[in-house]
Amino acid sequence: MVEHLGIEYIEVGADYIIGRMPVDNRTHQPMGFLHGGASVVLAETLGSIGSASCVNLEQCAPFGLEINANHIKSVRSGYVYGKASLVHFGKNTHIWDIRIENEKKRISLYQQTNCCHST
């Protein structure tokens, strides 16, 4: 999915990750705007990669438990940029705040909870 939608990782820090996704025919809904589902894929990808970068993957496999999405604005072209910031890092759960914007405006807000399963 990541490759198909053209999602790229720009920067990974200790408690955040930034990525971008093109707004084009792969990510449009039928009316030519960014599809809300594509935005959710970007958000969940960033939150999931964020959790994976914070744990020992030989001991823990992070999985999405819940995601809340709020779509605020629409966009037809260009790129959208997502930043996932770690809010809570517990033994079994991680909570991420994810904001997606383009160069001009905030597009959507998310909160994602991941759980960590022993491998």
11 annotated active-site: no
Among candidate residues 44, 58, 101, 103, the one labeled active-site is: 44
How buried is residue 76: exposed, middle or buried, by Cβ count under 10 Å (0-12/13-18/19+)?
exposed
Residues carrying an active site annotation: 44
